[in-house]
Amino acid sequence: MRRNPLCLLVALAAVTSHPLAASGEITAVDVGIRGVLSPNAATALRQALSALEGVEKVEVSKIPVRVEMLTNGQLAAAVLPEPFTALAQKQGAKVLAHDGADGIGESVLSFRREVLRDKAQFVDRFLVAYEQAVNDINSKPEDYRALLVEKGKIPDLIAKTFPVPEIPTASVPSQSSIQRSMNWMMRAGLLSRSLSYDQMVDGTHLPRR
């Protein structure tokens, strides 16, 4: 599922009081990070980290702690997902790099082959219902703010201002994006063999528009 490219999923944020926030370069600083990054986030970081050998990457698994360490100066920069990027910005951080350029999301709807084969009508109805829900939310986003705050665990500081995201309708990824993700998974040792696009993607059940 592609997302609104204006809505970030992962960003590299820095405290504005640190020199790197002004220069846009990160050298010999502490960067709060998580263990495994997606292809999009990894690409954004590679573009921002001008001297990887000089960066001390600190594993900070709990994201709220990562935000706190960033905003109180214990970290010079941190990799954050939304809504924590917005929270950090609210507290004075600056985004140096993000994964929003190509509009590729990190969430997918997947079905087993036997489900697609034996329960195709169920899959079709499910995607129609998904499409209707998306259209309802996108047409009146503020009607769903309370639900977003509750289910998305939006921090109180930005609960009233964090934008209700425009949710993408059902679609399939491009062959190039699948190949890029496949290459990344092979390099990371997450797969023992590569899979073809047709083995992974089936767009025949998408709702007709």
The pLDDT score that the predictor gives to residue 52 is: 41
> Is 142 inside any structural domain?
yes
Contact 26, 76 (CB under 8 A): yes
- Predicted local confidence at residue 34, as pLDDT: 46
pLDDT for residue 190: 85
| Tens of each residue's pLDDT in the chain, 209 residues | 444 544 556 777 877 665 554 444 444 344 444 444 444 545 545 555 544 445 677 778 888 999 998 888 888 888 888 899 999 999 988 887 776 655 555 578 889 999 999 999 999 999 999 999 999 999 999 999 999 999 989 999 999 999 898 888 888 888 988 888 888 788 878 889 999 999 999 999 999 87
Let me know if residue 209 belongs to a domain. no
Report pLDDT for 109: 84
Q: What is the CATH number of the domain that holds 17?
A: 3.40.190.10
Best CA proximity match to 58, nearest among 81, 76, 85: 76
pLDDT at 20: 52
Predicted local confidence at residue 1, as pLDDT: 40
Contact 116, 205 (CB under 8 A): yes
Which tokens is 63 given? 């994201």
Residues 87 and 128 reside in one and the same domain: no
Q: How far apart are CA 39 and CA 185, in angstroms?
A: 9
Torsion sign (Cα): 116, 119, 121, 126: negative
Residue 108: inside a domain, yes or no? Answer: no
Beta-strand (E) ranges in the chain? 10-15, 30-33, 56-59, 77-81, 93-98
- Residue 30: what pLDDT? 44
Per DSSP, the three-state class of 78 is strand
84 and 117 together in one domain: no
Q: Is residue 207 part of a domain?
A: no
* Dihedrals phi, psi of 58, to nearest 5 degrees: -110, 125
Q: Are strands 93-98 and 30-33 parallel, antiparallel or unpaired?
A: unpaired
What region does 39 belong to: left with phi over 0, alpha with psi -120 to 50, or beta? alpha
Both 47 and 76 in one domain: the answer is yes
Task: With 0.75 as the threshold, say if the pTM is over it.
Answer: no
First to last CA, the chain: 16
Q: Are strands 56-59 and 10-15 parallel, antiparallel or unpaired?
A: unpaired
From the list 108, 104, 98, 103, the residue with the least C-alpha distance to 42 is 98
Domain that holds residue 155: 113-200
| Same domain (yes/no): 117, 93 | no
| Count: domains in the chain | 2
